[in-house]
Amino acid sequence: MKEVLLHTMSDVKRGDFKQLLKELTEVPGPPGHEGPVRKLMARWTAPVADEVTSDHLGALIARKGADGPRIMVAGHLDEIGFMVTRITEEGFLRFQPLGGWWSQVVSAQRVEVMTDQGSVLGVVGSKPPHLLPPDQRRKAVSLEELFIDVGASDKEEVEAMGIRPGDVAVPWSPFTVMGNSKHWLGKAMDNRMGCAVAVEVLRRLSQTDHPNTVYGVGTVMEEVGRRGAHTATAAVRPDIGIAVDVGIAGDTPGINKDQAPCRLGDGPQLVLYDAGHLPHRGLVRLVQDVAKKEGIPLQYEWIARGATDASHIHLFDKGVPAISLGVPARYIHSHTSIIHQDDVERLIHLLVAVIHRLDRETVDRLCQGL
């Protein structure tokens, strides 16, 4: 599909990364419902891209340049959320999780239910612990036992709000600059951070020559199996793939540093291993060399369970040299996460510097496994 997305750009604050991230994190977009996020990302990419298009599943594909090897820089548009499956006669919503949720972080949290008539505020409820036998109080409540309360007295009131089965809900957690102003808190850092970074990389490349064609991409449905990476990669047909995503920060109490050694503020992450992808060795060396030359500290992550969009990007056609880069985040796959401004800025710096090194000769060598 060659659907060109046209938007009026006079109101876009160019170069304001914090504002971009705030807007992207606050807009709702669970898997399969990324349209509002795509439209917003299109507004921000249009001033710095030569063309902004979409694939048939709804990815955002922004191209900068027309010559040289194709470099794909991909975040994913979707966030974890919920889908309404049933409205009870008493006016409560039963739901299906969209993406990986741990039940302990869901109960008593606010959510926004998205309807054709607008959003409806709700809260996730469960049976009070006072009514549970002692043995059950020590156990996590299962997701199947939870429900959403939108403040209705019965099913008819819920339906009058415009809520129907199939509507989706997302966490309600506004973007917030914390006491240390370099700590940014908000929902959907996984992975609006990656989308915002892709936009900012295009913006910086628009101010300089680069030896390639760069695609800033927002894929869809990553949180339910990285499905959109298939179609977006087919649309771009990249020579090199770079997935940008958040990783686990291990700098909070109780975490074994042998499992999660990365800390907020200590630099971007390079993923050495995940359950779906081993990074291209030549790209790893290139990133390490560029980081050293640019004075950018690198942290290393390995993901025993889970994967990024690189797991699908690298399998396209004859194979695509691919790598995953990102920043550590606290409390991922919950209603809110924290990232560090310095990590994001260094990641953007690193990506721009790496892309400047990816000329035709270098890319051909990487594609030959050298």
User: 260-291 as b/e, with b when 16 or more CB fall inside 10 Å?
Assistant: bbbbbbbbbbbbeebebbebbebbbebbeebb
The pLDDT assigned to 8 comes to: 35
Q: Which residue out of 23, 79, 112, 222 is catalytically annotated? A: 222
Q: Taking the chain (370 residues) in consecutive chunks of 10 residues, what is each chunk's mean pLDDT?
A: 38 70 98 98 97 98 96 98 98 98 94 97 92 81 95 98 98 97 98 98 95 98 96 98 98 92 98 95 98 98 92 97 98 97 98 98 92
Annotated binding-site residue? 223: yes
* Per-domain residue ranges of the chain: 17-79+187-367, 81-171
Residues 6+ apart with CB under 8 A from 320: 72, 233, 238, 239, 240, 241, 313, 314
Pick the CATH number of 81-171 from 3.40.630.30, 2.40.30.40, 1.10.730.10, 3.40.50.1950: 2.40.30.40
Query: Any known ligand binding at 23?
Result: no
Give pLDDT, residue 139: 82
Given a contact cutoff of 8 angstroms between Cβ atoms, the answer to whether 30 and 81 are in contact is: yes
Q: What is the pLDDT of residue 123?
A: 98
Q: Is 333 annotated as a binding residue?
A: yes
Residue among 232, 254, 248, 267 at smallest CA distance from 77: 232
Q: The domain 17-79+187-367 is classified under which CATH number: 3.40.50.300, 3.40.190.10, 3.40.630.10, 3.30.565.10?
A: 3.40.630.10
pLDDT at 370: 67
Q: Is 309 annotated as a binding residue?
A: no
- Measured CA to CA, the distance from residue 311 to residue 323 in angstroms comes to 9
Neighbours of 304 (CB within 10 A): 8
222 included as an active-site residue = yes
Q: Report residue 126 as tokens.
A: 């469960």
Element (H, E) at 248: strand 240-248
Q: pTM higher than 0.85, yes or no? A: yes
Only one residue has tokens 């199947």, namely 144
Three-class secondary structure of residue 63 per DSSP: strand
Q: Is 342 known to sit in a ligand binding site?
A: no
